[in-house]
Amino acid sequence: MTTPPNRMKAKHQRLVLVAIALVALVCAGLLAAWALRNQASYFYVPEQIAADPPEAGRAVRLGGMVEEGSIRTLPDGVTTAFVVGDGKARVSVRFAGILPDLFVEGSGVVAEGRLDADGTFVADNLLAKHDENYVPRELQEMTEHQKREVVAETEQGA
């Protein structure tokens, strides 16, 4: 009994395996990119939304300052409407839910949601930001030396 001749040399077999592995990696990358394309949430400021708005319904984050005198509660009692601006453009925002404690006029906010067909940003989540001069209540009554010790302890523990 004779064995069939080996048509591919070992070098060619390894080359085929490497090519198959590369194709599999590219396919996995494309599948991951396709699966995550709707999960990505891009960050916009009002000026960017005014210049090049994202498509309606696409999940985005909007960051800016809550304009003075713009916060109002709608008749349903749950929905809050306000305007986020960056000094160059303004975007109307609607949010139904409990407002964060730090959410006030003139403060920074990041709203996660989507742009409605009429151009209103419908927020699903609000993140209120404090300014850079914020000092936690616990640190306000401490001396400078105590503050440095607390900060040093916090950094060592991190």
Binding site for heme: residue ranges?
130, 134
**8 A C-beta contact, residue 84 and residue 68:** no
Q: Coil, strand, or helix at residue 6?
A: coil
70-103 burial string, b = 16+ CB within 10 Å, else e? ebeeeeeeeebebbbbbeeebbbbbbeeeeeeeb
Residues in the chain: 158
| Known binding positions | 130, 134
Residue 155, number of CB atoms within 10 A of its CB: 8
User: Which residues make beta-bridge pairs with 121?
Assistant: 93, 115
Under DSSP, the state recorded for 118 is: T
Q: Could you give the C-alpha distances from 91 to 28, 121, 154, in angstroms and in order?
A: 39, 7, 39
Q: Which of 2, 10, 111 is nearest to 64 (CA)?
A: 111
